DNA sequence: CTTGCAAATGACACCGGTTTCCCATAACAA
DNA sequence: TTGTTATGGGAAACCGGTGTCATTTGCAAG
């Protein structure tokens, strides 16, 4: 008898659509019309039913709706665990949009490197009949995932991806501009030997950030020898390793731009352990404005992108047409990142 | 016509229980018996049906089951956003336990200070017919929430709460012992003037940690003047403020135990901005071993508690009897926290 | 006063499972 | 051989909504 769920519970039973129909003296179907704002019905009837619904505190059973519609009122969040804070902020934004709707958020981490990843996601979407999914970077860059969503008729929004020509399925920030601004900031301070710690190959965000960096240098007429570019993996440890390699250069760079805060924190850590003073001997700029950026010493100058707002926008794009939000309120697809100046940048020593 | 979900999708239709029944030449009910391991049926019949299920890749429709059973296959995670990393690690642990089961994880942040909190949670549980919920600290300490779960017949597990007499509904770590160990470590290094930055009043974890600290000092015969105890709120900023007040003492404490890493990072930050060398002039110990502890300089000595394992255990407690896990494998209810020695502790200067 | 047509509403099947209840068959005791 | 249990298995109702389609009603035009 193991594995048998308990019998249904009468104690917490709530009014059903039949109760409402009986109380209002109409048919189930008419009540359904009121709930879904579908079909046409008389104002008197609608009002009468709405009163009954309000008085009884009736709420439609999501499971029954899901079964009848073949579609659940769940939004999936699919991610590959790049950064705890980012995921959580994204959740926060999505949940803000879902608050006071019938939707719930289901979290689904996946393993990008697994060959079963696509099948995992497919079975997740199909089995749960998800209403929609939000794809977080970096897996949002995988086109096959987007095609999969189309295929199984599941709405989707890709975060921070490069598919900029499709505002319905895409929410991004202007990383490139922000990196350019950050790099210009270093240049304006007088830095000329600026190191870059890149993100991992194959990541769109890494490519975009690097592009911006190189553009800003070229714009200022500064040459960028290959040796000043160190590969990073977006992790703290890779930041340390990359910093070490840059520190070994003669002369040392006077500033380092790290493509995310984790790595920037690694640079700072490595500098400390070598006794390199920050910002006096070395300026550092990071990216993301995760909490760590403000908690290290000196606090890191970095680039902030509005994750929470982007999460909210992504969710609204998905549920927009199912809620009473007016369709004119198109959610923005691109968000502006800004440079946050803290204490890790100073002019280079003479 | 707004707000009307799309009609059901035939394209992605999967085999139903009727298909299986037909292919196996039995009735729906018999297939259901195989799925639920309920009732008694002939081995031959079972095997025949299992073959068909395997060949067709049939998976029961969760929505239909949820409707029929009046209970969903969803686990809720209810929290009040204390700490991003903690929540995410907990999610990870829970999801590990849920992997390869029919359960999904639904996230639900609540506002502890809102008067509607209980109603929010109630409607969440009732509407979604959740199978079970995991309550994270600090709201796991609210007894009314546990009673609510009982009332609506929803399984629950409270994390890190003080209700130690109920191992079925409780997963905790031995914070007190760990704090004692940490404090002894400071004492063994020669510290005698040790400051404490407490957690917020009303938090069980704060109380337990403070108790452990005071016990260890008393045990060593060290007096603890009230002035050496500063109130904190578990936030970085409150850690800075508390540290400032301790720094103003004459003489200054030679070591500070902060009740979590966020505050410990604040102490370190405040020390840096005052030019107090760590660990030479001031030793610091934190609690939680969040990522920040290893990323600041010097890396923080702290106490690690196995959040992921605890999350997994919590989830298994909830779904244990619905899966094929043997009931004998009782999940542990208490976990051991350990002291992680890094670079923020040294003997006091003479 | 019909006729015509659109709006308003209801009857009923259906979504894909589970449960209740009842029957058929086999096993066993008398 | 017959009566009595166990036991495997099926028919139909049910969970609580939604879709389809037919029917009724209201009102303007012919």
Q: From the alpha carbon of B62, which nucleotide's C1' atom is closest?
A: C17
pLDDT digits (tens, 9 = 90+) for B139-182: 998 889 999 999 888 999 999 866 567 888 999 999 999 999 99
pTM: 0.87
Q: Say yes or no to pLDDT of A10 above 80.
A: no
Query: Does A126 touch chain B if contact means CB atoms closer than 8 Å?
Result: yes
The per-residue pLDDT for B323 is: 61
pLDDT digits (tens, 9 = 90+) for A78-92: 998 767 888 999 999
Q: Say yes or no to pLDDT of B134 above 70.
A: yes
The per-residue pLDDT for B43 is: 85
Higher pLDDT, B183 or B59: B183
Nearest protein residue to nucleotide D19, judged by CA and C1' positions: B7
**Protein residues closer than 7 Å by CB to strand C:** A 4-5, 7, 25-30, 33, 39-42, 44-46, 64, 67-68, 70; B 8, 13, 16-18, 28-29, 31-32, 35-36, 38, 58, 60-61, 64-65, 67-69
The per-residue pLDDT for A294 is: 96
- The distance (Å) linking the CA of B24 with the C1' of C9 is 43
Instruction: Choose from A167-171, B80-84, B301-305 the range with maximum mean pLDDT.
Output: B301-305
pLDDT digits (tens, 9 = 90+) for A117-142: 999 999 899 889 999 999 998 899 88
pLDDT digits (tens, 9 = 90+) for A170-212: 999 999 999 999 999 999 999 999 999 999 998 888 999 999 9
Average pLDDT score, chain A: 90
Q: Give one word for A202, left, alpha or beta, with left for phi > 0 and alpha for psi -120 to 50.
A: left
Q: Helix (H) and strand (E) counts for chain B?
A: 13, 12
Domains along the sequence of chain A with CATH = 1-56 (1.10.260.40), 72-173+307-335 (3.40.50.2300), 175-305 (3.40.50.2300)
**A3, A8, A61 ranked by CB distance to B36: nearest:** A3
């Amino acid at each position: 008898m193991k594995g048998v769920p308990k019998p249904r519970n009468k104690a917490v039973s709530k009014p059903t659509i039949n109760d409402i129909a009986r109380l209002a003296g109409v048919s189930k179907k008419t009540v359904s019309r009121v709930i879904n704002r579908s079909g046409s019905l008389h104002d008197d009837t609608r009002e009468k039913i709405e009163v009954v619904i309000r008085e009884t505190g009736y709420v439609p059973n999501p499971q029954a709706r899901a079964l009848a519609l073949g579609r659940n009122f769940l939004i999936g969040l699919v991610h590959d665990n790049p950064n705890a804070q980012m995921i959580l902020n994204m959740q926060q934004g999505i949940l803000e949009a879902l608050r006071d709707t019938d939707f719930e958020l289901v979290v689904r981490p996946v393993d990008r490197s697994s060959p079963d990843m696509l099948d995992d996601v497919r079975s997740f979407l199909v089995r749960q009949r998800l209403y929609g999914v939000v794809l977080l970077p970096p897996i949002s860059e995988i086109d096959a995932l987007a095609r999969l969503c189309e295929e199984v008729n599941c709405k989707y929004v890709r975060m921070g991806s490069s598919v900029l020509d499709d505002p319905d399925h895409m929410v991004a920030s202007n990383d490139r501009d922000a990196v350019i601004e950050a790099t210009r900031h270093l240049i304006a301070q007088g830095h000329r030997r600026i190191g870059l710690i890149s993100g991992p190959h194959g990541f769109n965000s890494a490519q975009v950030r690097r592009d911006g960096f190189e553009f800003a240098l070229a714009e200022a007429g500064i040459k960028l020898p290959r040796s000043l570019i160190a590969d990073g993996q977006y992790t703290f440890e890779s930041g340390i390793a990359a910093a070490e390699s840059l520190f070994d250069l003669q002369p040392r760079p006077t500033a380092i731009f790290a493509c995310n805060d984790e790595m920037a924190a690694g640079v700072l850590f490595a500098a400390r352990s070598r006794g390199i003073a920050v910002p006096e001997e070395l300026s550092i700029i990071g990216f993301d404005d995760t909490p760590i950026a403000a908690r290290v010493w000196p606090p890191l100058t970095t680039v902030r992108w509005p994750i929470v707002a982007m999460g909210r926008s992504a969710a609204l794009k998905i549920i927009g047409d199912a809620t009473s939000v007016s369709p004119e309120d198109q959610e923005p697809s691109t968000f502006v990142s800004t440079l946050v100046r803290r204490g890790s940048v100073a002019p280079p020593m003479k």
